[in-house]
A and B are shown apart, each in its own frame.
Chain A
Amino acid sequence: MLNELFPNVIMDDLWTATYETLYMTVISVIGTFILGIILGLVLYLTDRGNLWSNRLVNGITATLVNVFRAIPFIILILLLIPFTDFLMDTIRGPKAALPALIIGSAPFYARLVEIALKEVDKGVIEAAKSMGAKTHTIIFKVLLQESKPALVGGLTVTAIALIGYTAIAGVIGAGGLGDLAYMNGFQRRNNDVVFACTVFIVAIVFIFQWAGDFTAKKMDKR
């Protein structure tokens, strides 16, 4: 029955594409998480009245973040082609999409991290200071711990945006479900392929959303 409804869908291709999409998403979520936490911490800590209060560093980081957030993703991929080529030695396939995916979404996540850190009670930071805590203790044992649910929530939102980005990257040959839908589906007027890819992407999004919500809820002891 499935063969009649989806005459042009080749299951092997669909699974390969799903794997590629998952590969791109998972690796870029990890990269985005690391880069975003670092940028978010810098944004927060160098803000006025905070631990490393520094106007210059804060200004530069904020500008950088804003500029990269302003560039539409499809254009960012094109701009990053020389960089990708240099870094990955190729500009095609799932691997080649990673730099653009991470650079495109880390600034977004960084802002979410900054918001999450700002939500941490200043009194708790003061209490840690009054106990004689070092800065790294305050960062790792107070700031990041106390903002954990918000950090995970933000990462979920970012991950879902990233799944969308992987589909866009597919259009210029990154592989994955977006690639399949565009090349084998849209270009060849195979609407069933487009539909199958859509169903798979939606399923992936749902799984990520559920996992993120579940983890955030588990962590939240407030």
Chain B
Amino acid sequence: MISIKKLSKHFQTKDQTVQAVDDVSLDIEKGEIFGVIGYSGAGKSTFVRLLNRLEEPTSGEITLDQQSLTQLGKNDLRKKRQKIGMIFQHFNLLWSRTVYENIAFPLEIAGVDKQNSKEKVDELIELVGLKGRENSYPSQLSGGQKQRVGIARALANDPEVLLCDEATSALDPETTDDILDLLVSINEKLKLTIILITHEMHVIQKICHRVAVMEQGKVVEVGDVLEVFINPKEKTTKRFVQQLSPLEHDPERLKDFITEDESKEVVKLHFVGGTARRSLISEVAKQFDVYVNILQGSISQTQEGSYGTLFVELDGERKVIDVSMDYIRNSGVEVEVVTNA
């Protein structure tokens, strides 16, 4: 749906050229939530601004639904921007306008008449859950509510794409989750393509289908979120994945449990994707005569299923331990016996 070819943006400063975005090529599918993650200065903010040409690209091409954005004249670009919604880290609401008037603003810009505008705004206020706050001013709202106004405003002209520039970075964790849930429900309800940039891995994990990792203006890794999580290739990606499960690989703490004792076995369970069942551990404990002792690990839910690693100690007769390991394997979870190396 959106195809980005060899997109670059250079900034000329006094004594050097900064390559904010460097030769980026990506294809984003219709209806997907595409995440771009990177540390600050990686060029992701510039990247997202190139998509609606708030920043003019130095070179490269962007096509949206077979229409080249980079070739559009000034007036056509303005019209096209009405179909590309954008939300911001600091919400960027007009403080002089009420919630209602803020959401109506893009409709005023598009020249929608009062009657249709009112219908649309009422519908959007309902959608983002702000009923009753129509006449409040932004200063009277909490951060989460402000972002809801931002989202409603971005959706006013029925956009084809929604760009999110660090949309949850100024919010507390709980509010972040609410806003992310709202984005997912919008994505599903309206089949809206969402491109979001963030520096928080759990945002990617929670709502994205695919992810691109940016570093120094380049996309260094791209793929399905689950795949990237399970098998991160680049160093930066690994660091981001580690953010989520800092405990996962801490062999030091496992040492005490790994013994020569035949009746005890430490195993690493690797959950990959949708096949992982939540009740697996209790099933094993019920069906077989073993004690399952959870040592460490973490399981995360992504849009494509759960993934993660769990270190457990199986305590029982040797034979029973082997049978239970087979059982776990058969339910689609990778099993690896941990030994002292």
Contacts and interface: CB of A to CB of B under 8 A. Distances in A.
B109 interface: yes
B37 interface: no
A126 B165 CA distance: 12
B131 interface: no
A131 B82 contact: yes
Given A127-B86, A141-B105, A222-B139, A132 B92 contact: no
A95 interface: no
A133 B156 CA distance: 14
A131 B106 contact: yes
Nearest to B150: A127
A146 B78 contact: no
B109 A142 contact: no
B90 interface: yes
Contacts of A127: 86, 88, 92-93, 153
Contacts of B97: 145
Contacts of A118: none
Contacts of A222: 95, 139
A146 B95 contact: yes
Contact of B105 (A129, A131, A219): A131
B232 to A, nearest CB: 33
A219 B82 CA distance: 29
Interface in A120-178: 121, 123-124, 126-134, 137, 141-142, 145-146, 148
B86 A142 contact: no
> Interface of chain A, helix or strand or loop or mixed?
helix
Nearest to B80: A132
B90 A141 contact: no
Nearest to A219: B96
B255 to A, nearest CB: 52
Interface in B100-118: 105-106, 108-110
B333 interface: no
B105 A124 contact: no
B106 A129 contact: no
Contact of A221 (B105, B137, B163): B137
Contacts of A142: 94
A222 B94 CA distance: 10
Q: Interface range on chain B: under 10, 10 to 19, 20 to 34, or 35 or more?
A: 20 to 34
A130 B94 contact: no
B80 to A, nearest CB: 7
B96 A148 contact: yes
Contacts of A129: 54, 81
B79 interface: yes
Interface in B271-293: none
Given A132-B78, A141-B105, A221-B137, A124 B84 contact: no
Interface string A181-222: 000000000000000000000000000000000000001011
A146 B96 contact: yes
A131 B90 contact: no
Interface string A104-118: 000000000000000
B145 interface: no
Given A130-B86, A137-B109, A222-B139, A145 B81 contact: no
A123 B52 CA distance: 15
A129 to B, nearest CB: 6
Contact of B109 (A126, A132, A219): A132
A132 B81 contact: yes
A127 B97 CA distance: 14
A129, A142, A146, A221 — most chain B CB neighbours (10 Å): A221
B94 A146 contact: yes
Contacts of B79: 132
A221 B90 CA distance: 17
Contacts of A126: 54, 88, 92
17 contacts: A121-B90, A124-B93, A126-B88, A127-B92, A129-B54, A129-B81, A130-B84, A131-B82, A131-B106, A131-B157, A132-B106, A133-B109, A137-B109, A141-B108, A145-B94, A148-B96, A222-B95
Given A126-B88, A131-B105, 13 more contacts: A121-B92, A123-B90, A124-B93, A128-B105, A130-B54, A130-B81, A130-B163, A131-B109, A132-B80, A134-B78, A145-B96, A145-B97, A221-B95
Interface of B: 52, 54, 77-82, 84-86, 88, 90, 92-97, 105-106, 108-110, 137-139, 153, 157, 163
